[in-house]
Structure 1
């Protein structure tokens, strides 16, 4: 199964420490991780996801724009015929917004404070990647 994961920071949020920790954790768990860096446009995230043939796009969002940005990424993936790429979102996500993100098409939501082992377990379930 495809173990490639794109970790992206959409929008104007410039804080990437958490995204880097997630990227390193996933890499150490056996995933192939591509990190786009900060301040990425939705179209650029989708283009890289398709070009790199990833199984999952992980969005790290701390800016409060998680609903709009996640929806835009999911819609852009569908528009390019890449609806098979799962989208997960993590960051500063209020509990009330978790069901909204899932309804919008997010495969999983990881609010701030999610244990890293829980994140890895969920990502393995999404990609069928086993322990290294």
Structure 2
């Protein structure tokens, strides 16, 4: 039996109403051989954590364009730790000012990808 595909949860937390990029990323990750669960728009952090647990994912990607990336990421990290989810790769992407990249990584994000990031960079990061 073959090796299990990498399972990725891609979520749009908060009030951000634009998901064109998230849908593009979802398709690209599927094309790269990963299994992707996309939650859709306006997700609450407790729902994202519950889905990550239920789906037994390897990677959680938070796509945030609304400017609330610091607060939403902190809330996700705190709740996921509380629920015992500490072995998943956490990626944060979207409209992220350069000054906030270090803050997100210091919080616990494994990688931060801006809106212009080449998909191959994301795929390589997840695969390695």
Same fold (TM over 0.5): yes
**CA drift at 1:47:** 0.1
**How many aligned residue pairs are there?**
125
2:64: which partner in 1? 61
In 2, the alpha carbon distance for the partners of 1:2 and 1:29 equals 10
State the 1:87 CA deviation: 1.2
CA distance in 2, matches of 1:32, 1:115: 19
Paired residues for 1:100-115 under 5 Å: 100-115=103-118
Cα distance in structure 2, aligned partners of 1:86 and 1:66 = 17
**Which digits, 9 at most, give the CA deviation of each residue in 1:80-117, with x for residues without a partner?**
01111221100000111100000000010001101111
Equivalent position to 2:38, from 31, 35, 39: 35
The answer to whether the 8 Å contact 1:5/1:57 transfers is yes
**1:7 pairs with 2, 10, 19, which one?**
10
1:99 to 95, 99, 102: 102
Distance in 2 (alpha carbons) for counterparts of 1:25 and 1:123: 12
Runs of 4+ aligned structure 1 residues displaced above 3 Å come to none
TM-score (norm 2): 0.95
Q: What are structure 1's unaligned runs of at least 5 residues?
A: 126-132
| Aligned partners of 2:5 and 2:33 also within 8 Å | no
CA RMSD of aligned residues (A): 0.9
Relative contact order, CA 8 A, sep 6+: which one is greater? 1
2: distance between equivalents of 1:120 and 1:30? 10
TM-score (normalised: structure 1): 0.92
Q: Residue 49 of structure 2 is aligned with which of 42, 46, 50? A: 46
Where in structure 2 are there 5+ consecutive unaligned residues? none
